[in-house]
Amino acid sequence: MIDAIQDRFRALPKAELHVHLEGALPLEFLNRLAADKGRDPIKPDIFAFKNFEEFALCFFTTTSLLEDEEDFYQAARAFVEAQAEENIVYTEFSFMPGFHVKRGVKPEAMFQGLYSGLQDGMKQHPVQVKILFSISRMFGAEAGEETLDYIRRFPDDHILGIDLAGMEVPDSITPFASCFKEARAMGLETVAHAGEFSGPDHVAQTIEILRPRRIGHGLGAALDNRICRMLAERDIALELAPTSNVLLGAAASYEKHPLAKLMKMGVPVTLNSDDPIFFSTTLSREYAIARTVMGLDEDSLMAILANGFQYGFLDPKDKERTDDQ
């Protein structure tokens, strides 16, 4: 049954708002890259992580293959092709430039390869692709300013804004307030991961201090009806990724995931794959799991699918085009 539902949702045009390029590159592509560099192939068992720390190690291993302009060009094209195979017609992906520069990648080559690969990929596939530059909390507030500087130095029409990500350690919100304020002044959209491994207070503080347009994950909000009402009243959507949440321990199981409760509270939600290669999932599979395991009915799933377009940062012409689809 789950396969049939997955196939049906794969056939529907979809939007995805929470997917990390570095975690969405097909294994076949990564192993071609490894072979070209004379490295050992990546074995699927590397993705059998048990916690966020092991997940981070997996992330470091796969991203180490991206070294020069051609690598980023091919990665961008592989990403667009993978999204097209899922019939994702609009996607906003996160990309962490600061992380790659810190490991020795030349920014000029990285951005040139990324932008060119996206452009060529979109010429071949009916996918509209936009970028949110991701800022890692682990690099501190200066990473935010560095990311804004990259946007100024390497502008591109694909860029939408910024996204704060990484472990929600104490005092990991306020240090980024000035960065988010500056981003808004630059006309950029803002998104922040919050409430993935933390409770409702962290979600509330993120909203009040950073003022993001959307929250990445945010399932911790379900523990406090007051925060759910805040999200509903301010029309701030949550970017939920059930398989990611279960495998990393943010949710105890699919059955205990708060997706259904959040919807009942009027919180806008979207479904996403997060890092599909790491979690062995796809966006259509997330919809199938929500239907068969999490108990959502057909109307709820179609409402979530529509939310992907409604809460995406599309301009009016793009919204008209996706409505037609």
Give pLDDT tens digits for 24-71.
999 999 999 999 999 999 988 888 887 878 888 888 889 999 999 999
Over residues 82-98, the mean pLDDT reads 98
The pLDDT-based confidence of 317 (bands split at 50, 70, 90) is low
Q: When comparing pLDDT for 273 and 48, which is higher?
A: 273
Look up residue 12 and give its DSSP letter. S
How confident is the model at residue 316, as a pLDDT?
A: 67
Cα distance between residue 109 and residue 69, in whole Å: 5
Cα distance between residue 232 and residue 230, in whole Å: 5
Find, among 83, 19, 86, the residue nearest to 239 by Cα: 19
Tell me how long the chain is: 325
- The structural domains of the chain, ordered by start, are 2-313 (3.20.20.140)
Residue 246, Ramachandran bin (φ over 0: left; ψ between -120 and 50: alpha; else beta): alpha
How confident is the model at residue 49, as a pLDDT?
A: 82
The pLDDT-based confidence of 303 (bands split at 50, 70, 90) is very high
Residues 6 or more apart whose Cβ sits within 8 Å of residue 48: none
Cα distance between residue 147 and residue 107, in whole Å: 11
Say if CB 238 and CB 269 are below 8 A apart: yes
For 226, other C-beta atoms within 10 Å of its C-beta total 9
Q: State which amino acid sits at residue 276.
A: P
Tokens 């390869």, residue?
Answer: 113
pTM for this prediction: 0.95
Cα distance between residue 172 and residue 192, in whole Å: 11
Q: State which amino acid sits at residue 20.
A: H
Over residues 304-325, the mean pLDDT reads 80
Find, among 98, 105, 208, the residue nearest to 162 by Cα: 98
